[in-house]
Amino acid sequence: MSANKNILFDTGKNITLNPEEPFFADASYHLDVEVCSKPTCDCGGVSLFIKEGDTFESATIKYKVKVNVFDTLVNSIYDDEDFTSEKRDEFFHFYYDNLTDYDWKVLKSIYRVKKFNLVEGVNPDKVYFEFTKKDYREVSMMYQYGKIFPNGDFYVNYQDTWYLLLDNYCKNPECECNDMYFHIFEMDASRRPEDTSVGVYFYNYQTKDVKIDEGNKELMKEIVAELFTIHPEADQIFERRSNNLKIIYELAKFRYEKENRLLKTHVNKVGRNEPCPCGSGKKYKRCCLKK
């Protein structure tokens, strides 16, 4: 990375352009950030909009730079017609050469927060997600929300250590339970994920009952308490996620069963020992015959 000063500047309320950088010495420049709008996607795509105007609200887009926060890549994909090709190249190379480690860290943080907010505002009726055959057979098994929404996981910093909380809910549309559980991990890049497990925290978001069978019970209680400090409305989030999961699962199961019914209408002449037409590689008698 370049030894230049950070392009992005954290004011404590929002992220702005660092006025000490020569490109942005003019106070009329502002920065706007957008992320990929698909809540189930974790592509890392972020668009930086350079806006010109006296205020952020009245500013108009003059240039756009697209970056990937995971690959730390910069691409120029949009520019105002008033910009000359030389000016466009100048902007592109400025970002390409000068984004610092801090800048990438800030952009990744913005990406995670904006994606998390997209997840919380999702309409489950419009989410297309396919579960595994095992998930369709075992309807009552609980399911990790983050498998559908990669940026929906919870992160907590407790006593200078970061923890990852993976929330799981019942996916059975006919079940009216209010149970969920967290699988909590200490975030430590030097250790294997399976070695960082703190334990499993069972919780009922209606009755507030807690059950911890194994793991560091006191630590988990403190971590979850910190989560409620960050998200005071956590119980409402859990309930909404539980309902969302059941809707998404019900729609996916309906599609799966419909496709299998249509498949069966075309396989009546398939022999028991012939390859299953679903493409699994198994014999028909050991795969879709009994479904």
Contact 152, 144 (CB under 8 A): no
b/e sequence 209-221, b meaning 16+ C-beta within 10 Å = eeebeeeeeebbe
Instruction: Report residue 49: phi and psi, to 5°.
Output: -105, 120
What letter does residue 276 receive in the DSSP assignment? P
pLDDT 10s digits, 250-277: 999 999 888 877 555 555 567 777 887 7
Total-model pTM:
0.77
Alpha-carbon span 243 to 1, nearest angstrom: 45
Distance CA 18, CA 29 (A): 10
The token duo for 1 is 């990375």
d(CA 192, CA 186) in angstroms, rounded, equals: 10
Nearest to 228 by CA among 154, 172, 278: 154
Of residues 22 and 30, more confidently modeled = 30
User: What residues contact 53, with CB distance under 8 A and at least 6 apart?
Assistant: 28, 30, 59, 60
Model pLDDT for residues 26-37, shown as the tens digit of each residue: 556 677 788 989
- Of 146 and 106, the one with more pLDDT: 146
Percent of the chain whose predicted confidence (pLDDT) is above 70: 77
Other beta carbons within 10 Å of 25: 11
Mind listing the pLDDT tens digit for each residue in 86-145?
666 666 777 777 778 888 888 888 899 899 999 999 999 999 999 999 999 888 889 999
